[in-house]
Amino acid sequence: MEKSARPRTALNECVKVVVRCRPLSEREKNESYEEGKKRVRHEEKAWYDRLSTKAVNKFDGKLQVVKVWPERGAVQVDNPKGQDKLFTYDAAYDCTADTKTIYDEMVRPLVASVLDGFNGCVFAYGQTGTGKTHTMEGTGDDEGIIPRTFRHMWAHIENTASPDVTHLVSCSYVELYLEDVRDLLAKDCKKLTIRGQELNGFYIPEMTSIVCKSANEMVRLMRAGNRNRASGRTDMNEHSSRSHAVFLVTVETAHRSTDRIRCPHLQFPWLIQEFCLSIPSNRLSSGLPLFPGGPVHTVIYKLIEPKQEGPHSLYPPQS
């Protein structure tokens, strides 16, 4: 049993798992799949009641494979062999949800705690084409979680500006492709070495760290790093990221009167599910090679592992 001094409420839960289902692609629509439409109450109930009966995967003549229940935080998945499966999360968003709502409800409290001095991590995980990049980076009309975080951080920094407090914001961006760790912010995307120490965990000593003075500067840095990321085409996504990546933001806050320096970190890793599951590659991709797995991959998971205490994982140990 977990012991905690703090009550486990929605706001202070250490790890939250949230599902976002994107709208159907043109290809999926052409294959006769259907998005969940707004239905009248008794029809909704009928869908939910299917859980206790044998599933029928035809609804209004079209295939609806996934049904999201935002008010229950649940996702119901059609099982052609029998009863539907129901999975419950901290929150579930259907294709009508925008990134702003997800940010405000799920990410804003985490970023606020980073600004209070705690480490944080927002982690996008899913099969190719499921919407990780759309959610994390966003589009011209709908900004993603990362640029929203930058704006939130800078709004906080500007609102709390005083002669007594100084903030220093710096960013790093690394990718893991095959067995190499590359620095996406270095001119030649140089290969990096991960080092480990028994007491301080894993860190990357030569990773570029760039000081930024505004949210827009951070967005430009993220885009510059994205241009260096390995990409290709998969059966599910024309413009697919083919690597794991971690965008790391460090906010140092110095208080002149107390000589106190706080240095929390916020990480944005992208992990692609294909690496973790042994799905035959011909089902997933016809582009650049997928991840073979191996020791470096184990280490990258260690890098983003939440730490209870001590210096942050991607940085050299502090004496």
Binding residues vs ligand ATP (CB under 6 A):
22-23, 126, 128-134, 234, 237, 240-241, 272
Q: Is 127 annotated as a binding residue?
A: yes
Instruction: Pick between residue 120 and residue 129 the one whose CB is nearest to ligand ATP.
Output: 129
Q: Is 126 annotated as a binding residue?
A: yes
Instruction: Pick between residue 208 and residue 237 the one whose CB is nearest to ligand ATP.
Output: 237
Q: How far is the CB of 114 from ligand ATP (least distance, A)?
A: 24
Q: Give the separation between CA 176 and CA 161, rounded to whole angstroms.
A: 37
Q: Is 293 annotated as a binding residue?
A: no
Q: Is 100 annotated as a binding residue?
A: no
Q: Is 225 annotated as a binding residue?
A: no
Q: How far is the CB of 206 from ligand ATP (least distance, A)?
A: 27
Q: Is 36 annotated as a binding residue?
A: no
Q: How far is the CB of 265 from ligand ATP (least distance, A)?
A: 23
Q: Is the dihedral of CA 236, 272, 209, 182 positive or negative?
A: negative
In order, the DSSP letters of the chain are: ----SS---TTT-S---EEEPPPPPHHHHHTTB-PPPP--HHHHHHHHHGGGS----EETTEE--EEEEGGGTEEEE--TTSSPEEEE-SEEE-TT--HHHHIIIIIHHHHHHHHTT--EE--EEESTTSSHHHHHTB-SSSB-HHHHHHHHHHHHHHHT-BTTEEEEEEEEEEEEETTEEEETTSTT--EE--EEETTTEEE-TT---EEESSHHHHHHHHHHHHHTS-EE-BSS-SSEE-SEEEEEEEEEEEETTTTEEE--EEEEEEEEHHHHS---GGGTBSSS------HHHHHHHHHTS--SSSS-TTSPPP-
Q: How far is the CB of 132 from ligand ATP (least distance, A)?
A: 4
Instruction: Pick between residue 251 and residue 284 the one whose CB is nearest to ligand ATP.
Output: 284
Q: Is 144 annotated as a binding residue?
A: no
Instruction: Pick between residue 144 and residue 264 the one whose CB is nearest to ligand ATP.
Output: 144
One-letter identity of residue 80: P
Q: How far is the CB of 142 from ligand ATP (least distance, A)?
A: 8
Instruction: Pick between residue 250 and residue 285 the one whose CB is nearest to ligand ATP.
Output: 285
Instruction: Pick between residue 267 and residue 285 the one whose CB is nearest to ligand ATP.
Output: 285
Q: Is 234 annotated as a binding residue?
A: no
Q: How far is the CB of 287 from ligand ATP (least distance, A)?
A: 9
Task: Write out the binding residues.
Answer: 126-133
